[in-house]
């Protein structure tokens, strides 16, 4: 089953789009909401393409799976209030102020810092899984 990568960003709302389907986008105030909205928008978009006689990308002609890839800003926004910035800062080595800039979009992290954030979150998750 083909996997369709859907990029999710944050700017006042979550936004979702996939490069494989230009013009198909969705927004929502919540992460789960934007995932559901994109899946619905994609179905409507594909129906419209078929009705208009437009070619449908091969990966979307049968069953497919959506995989969501969040920007650093979207990751941090989705966790804001669930995991403290202090905990993320300790785990990632990136200070809280800088994390705040990433959340607001004032600054976009370099790829090395995005990797640090993701690895720090994975470490926090591993630590939580050890709790019995």
Measure the CA–CA gap between 86 and 92, rounded to whole angstroms: 10
For CATH 1.10.260, the residue range(s) in the chain are 72-129
pLDDT digits (tens, 9 = 90+) for 29-79: 999 999 999 999 999 999 999 999 999 988 898 899 999 999 999 999 998
Confidence label for 81 from pLDDT (cuts 50, 70 and 90)? confident
Quick: pLDDT tens for 88-128: 999 999 999 999 999 888 999 999 999 999 999 999 999 88
Under the banding of pLDDT at 50, 70 and 90, the label for residue 80 is confident
Q: How far apart are CA 73 and CA 27, in angstroms?
A: 15
Chain region(s) in the chain for CATH 3.30.160.250: 3-70
Q: Domain 72-129 - what CATH class?
A: mainly alpha
CATH number for the region 3-70 comes to: 3.30.160.250
Q: How confident is the model at residue 17 (pLDDT cuts 50, 70, 90)?
A: very high
Q: Which tokens belong to 123? A: 């470490």
| Element containing residue 89 per DSSP (H, E) | helix 85-92
> Which pLDDT belongs to residue 48?
94
Say if residue 130's pLDDT is above 90.
Answer: no
Question: Residue 131 has what pLDDT?
Answer: 81
């Amino acid at each position: 089953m083909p996997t369709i990568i859907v990029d999710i960003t944050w700017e006042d709302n979550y936004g979702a789009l996939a490069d494989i389907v230009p013009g198909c986008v969705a927004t929502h105030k919540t992460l789960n909401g934007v995932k559901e909205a994109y899946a619905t928008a994609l179905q409507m978009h594909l129906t419209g393409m078929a009705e208009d006689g437009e070619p449908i990308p091969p990966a979307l002609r049968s069953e497919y799976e959506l995989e969501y890839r969040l920007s650093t800003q979207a990751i941090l926004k989705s966790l804001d209030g669930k995991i403290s910035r202090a905990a993320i800062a300790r785990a990632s080595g990136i200070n809280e102020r800088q994390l705040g800039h990433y959340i607001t979009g004032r600054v976009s992290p370099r790829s090395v810092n995005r990797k640090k954030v993701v690895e720090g979150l994975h470490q926090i998750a591993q630590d939580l899984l050890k709790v019995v």
